Amino acid sequence: MKTDEYQELYAGLIRLHILHHACEEPIFGLEMIRELSRHGYRIGAGTLYPILHGMEKKGWVRSTTELIGGRNRRVYRATPKGRKALNAARDKVQELFGELFEDGRPRKLGSPGQLA
Ligand SMILES: [Zn+2]
């Protein structure tokens, strides 16, 4: 799997995305990989699972093993702490969104070297 050259920029967005879905409903890894790829993020199990483990270590999600479709899967649910984290980050996203977009459309960037 080719790693995206902007992976570092997307790292936080991917975490927010996962947290958002874990707040909505229980999620599991494979399903999340599909969901993220639907949004254009190429992310493999080798990247996703460490992220999920990290989020569990932070106390944002809690995992349990459940039988789904005849397979044991590790299922993740957002904790109250995770919901609080998502709310805090949502404010930041809105703030940034306001700068990146005007009337919901991407803002035209000035040419490099041009003073605002
Ligand atoms: Zn999504």
Expressed in angstroms and rounded, the spacing between residue 32 Cα and the centre of ligand 1 is: 8
Expressed in angstroms and rounded, the spacing between residue 16 Cα and the centre of ligand 1 is: 10
Expressed in angstroms and rounded, the spacing between residue 37 Cα and the centre of ligand 1 is: 9
> Pick from 69, 19, 29: which is nearest to 50 by CA?
29
Full set of structural domains in the chain with CATH = 7-101 (1.10.10.10)
**pLDDT, averaged across the chain:** 90
Kindly state the average pLDDT of the residues 87-100.
Answer: 94
Q: What pLDDT is recorded for position 69?
A: 85
Residue pair 90/23 in contact (Cβ under 8 Å)? The answer is no
Percent above pLDDT 70 for the chain: 92
- The pLDDT tens digits for 2-19 are 557 888 899 999 999 999
Expressed in angstroms and rounded, the spacing between residue 23 Cα and the centre of ligand 1 is: 11
Expressed in angstroms and rounded, the spacing between residue 15 Cα and the centre of ligand 1 is: 11
Residue pair 23/82 in contact (Cβ under 8 Å)? The answer is yes
Expressed in angstroms and rounded, the spacing between residue 116 Cα and the centre of ligand 1 is: 35
pLDDT band at 1 (very low <50, low <70, confident <90, very high): very low
- Minimum mean pLDDT range among 41-50, 83-92, 95-104: 95-104
SS (H, E, C) 34-62: HHHHHCCCCCCHHHHHHHHHHHHHCCCEE
Expressed in angstroms and rounded, the spacing between residue 39 Cα and the centre of ligand 1 is: 7
Amino acid letter at 107?
R
Expressed in angstroms and rounded, the spacing between residue 36 Cα and the centre of ligand 1 is: 7
- The pLDDT tens digits for 53-83 are 999 999 999 999 999 889 899 999 999 999 9
Identify the residue whose tokens are 């093993």.
65
Q: What pLDDT is recorded for position 116?
A: 57
Kindly state the average pLDDT of the residues 33-38.
Answer: 95
